[in-house]
Homo-oligomer: A and B are copies of this chain.
Amino acid sequence: MTPQTLTVDLGTRSYPIVIGTGLLDSAFDLSPAMPGNTCLVVSNETVAPLYLEKLRKCLPGIKQSSVLLPDGESHKTLLTAESILDELVESRAARDATVVALGGGVVGDIAGFAAACYMRGIAFIQVPTTLLAQVDSSVGGKTGVNHPGGKNLIGAFHQPQIVLIDTDTLSTLPDRELSAGLAEVIKYGAIVDPDFFTWIETNIHALLNRDPEALIYAIRRSCEIKARIVQEDERESGRRALLNFGHTFGHAIENSLGYGEWLHGEAVAAGMSMAARLSGIDEADQDRLKALLDAAGLPSSPPPVGSAQLRAVMDMDKKVKAGKLRFVLLRSLGDAFITEKYDELALQEILGMADE
Residues of A at under 8 Å CB distance from B?
36, 78, 82, 85-86, 89-90, 92-96, 116-121, 142, 144, 147-150, 153-157, 235, 316, 319-323
Contact = CB atoms under 8 A, between A and B. Distances in A.
A322 B35 CA distance: 10
9 contacts: A36-B322, A85-B154, A86-B149, A89-B148, A89-B153, A116-B156, A118-B153, A119-B153, A121-B157
A335 B36 CA distance: 31
Contacts of A117: 117, 144, 154-156
A120 B147 contact: no
Q: Assembly of this chain: how many copies?
A: 2
Contact of A147 (B36, B89, B154, B235): B89
Contacts of A323: 94
Nearest to A236: B120
A30 B346 CA distance: 42
Contacts of A235: 120-121
Contact of A95 (B142, B155, B320): B320
Contacts of A144: 117, 120
Contacts of A142: 120
A220 B26 CA distance: 59
Contacts of A319: 92, 94
A144 B116 CA distance: 12
B154 A321 contact: no
Contact of A321 (B90, B95, B120): B95
A96 B322 contact: yes
B322 A149 contact: no
A118 B144 CA distance: 10
Contact of A121 (B89, B121, B156, B321): B156
